[in-house]
Amino acid sequence: MDTMEPAAKRDLLSTEDLDNDSVGNLLELAAHMQHRGPQDQLKGKTLGLLFQDPSLRTRVSFEVAMIQLGGSAIVLSSATDVYAFEAESQTVMDGVAEEHVKDAARTLSRYVDAIGLRAAIRTGNWEEDRTDALLRAYSQYASVPVVNLQSHMHHPCQALADIFTMRQECGDLAGKTLTLAWTQNPEPQSLGAPHSLALLAARMGMNVKVTHPQGFELDGEIMDSARAHADETGGSIQVMHDLEEGARGTDFVYARSWRSLGAYADPDRELLLKRSLDHWKITSDILALGNNAWFLHPLPVRRNLSVTDDVLDGERSLIYDQAENRLHTQKALLVSLM
């Protein structure tokens, strides 16, 4: 009797794990699911969600997605349920870690059909943190799909929803201009969302203007990859250090704060850098410099510090569509992976 080899499990650790056909198929499936009621595609399936950071949209959208698909989700939080894990192999575990990822991932794989992980513990060393060691260890040892719910380097689920949202307004995004704008925030923020959006927007053929103050550059490897994607698709990547110039003539303004890599090990130095940057705020005047531009932000947002109320609540704001679309794109992703 002929036997079939089991399908290799697929993970989503970054947007780079998806080829262009897969991205297109996911976006099409998300559009289809947006206009359908709850289905039972994942009846009997369970998603395990592990959070080392607080979450509102990611946690709720994934839980609701599983419910609407006929499955269920189990949420574990570092505050109450998840202790410190060791990711390095062949190490003597005499530190704070209670369990090795190998044991946790293999155990969870016996219970659930996929694992979502938000791994955000910082060492203070960017060269170490940028490897996303804990996330990649889960991917290595789990026998079920692993989904990145935001890491130091990537936030693929947010980027998929961002692209889906922009496509709803403009259709084909090739040739459209996206301003990815740094904004003021007193707390250091992850680079995952801007990294993933820059990579995926370049693959859509967009002209991306990465706009930030000096000292808040994105990771160099990410920028090199984004430029390579843009070269293939006819898009472009520009780096600009003036907010008004960055917003001029754009089709989309995407606001997001992110931490300084130059001050990564020194939060006090980052605060000093930010003292003179209160003008890095999206106002109606900034948005008006665009080409009847739409406004996006992944939320949460510091109102009237990062973005003014009139922009967030204005008729060109897509922030709630963007948040809702996390549900649709994640339902498509879960069906694809599980």
For residue 79, what pLDDT is reported? Answer: 66
Residue 131 resides in a domain? yes
In this prediction, residues 21-26 reach a mean pLDDT of 96
Going along 133-261, which residue ranges are E strands?
146-150, 177-181, 207-211, 236-240, 252-255
**Total number of domains constituting the chain:** 2
- 3 has pLDDT over 80: no
Q: Which structure tokens are listed for 149?
A: 């719910």
Which of 31-40, 139-148, 200-209, 297-306 has the least mean pLDDT?
A: 31-40
- The total number of residues shown for the chain amounts to 338
Q: How many CB atoms lie within 10 A of CB 32?
A: 12
Decide: residue 215, CB within 10 A, 0-12 exposed, 13-18 middle, 19+ buried.
Answer: middle
In this prediction, residues 228-243 reach a mean pLDDT of 98
Residue 8 resides in a domain? no
Residue range of the domain that includes 210: 158-323
- 4 has pLDDT over 70: no
Q: Of 146, 149, 58, whose CA–CA distance to 101 is shortest?
A: 146
Q: What is the CATH number of the domain that holds 245?
A: 3.40.50.1370
Same domain, 208 and 314: yes
**Mean pLDDT estimate for the chain:** 94
Encode pLDDT of 61-102 as tens digits: 999 999 999 999 999 886 666 677 878 888 887 777 788 899
Which of 87-101, 190-204, 297-311 has the least mean pLDDT?
A: 87-101
In this prediction, residues 137-164 reach a mean pLDDT of 97
For residue 2, what pLDDT is reported? Answer: 44
* Residues 186, 247: Cα–Cα separation, whole Å: 23
Q: Of 215, 314, 294, whose CA–CA distance to 247 is shortest?
A: 294
Same domain, 145 and 242: no
Same domain, 84 and 137: yes
pLDDT above 90 covers a percentage of the chain that reads 85
Kindly report the pTM of this predicted structure: 0.95
Q: Which of 87-96, 265-274, 287-296 has the highest mean pLDDT?
A: 287-296
Same domain, 91 and 128: yes
Count Cβ neighbours within 10 Å for each residue of 145-184 and write b for 16 or more, e otherwise: bbbbbbbbbbbbbbbbbbbbbbbbeeeebeebbbbbbbbb
Encode pLDDT of 237-249 as tens digits: 999 999 999 999 9
- 265 has pLDDT over 80: yes
Going along the chain, which residue ranges are E strands?
46-51, 72-77, 85-86, 99-100, 114-118, 146-150, 177-181, 207-211, 236-240, 252-255, 294-296
- 197 has pLDDT over 80: yes
Residue 214 resides in a domain? yes
Q: Which structure tokens are listed for 101?
A: 């990822």
In this prediction, residues 7-18 reach a mean pLDDT of 92
For residue 71, what pLDDT is reported? Answer: 97
For residue 7, what pLDDT is reported? Answer: 63
Angle between helices 319-337 and 156-170 (to 10 degrees): 120
Listed in sequence order, the residues at least 6 apart from 233 whose beta carbon sits closer than 8 Å to its beta carbon are 174, 202, 203, 204, 205
* Residues 60, 13: Cα–Cα separation, whole Å: 20
Same domain, 65 and 143: yes
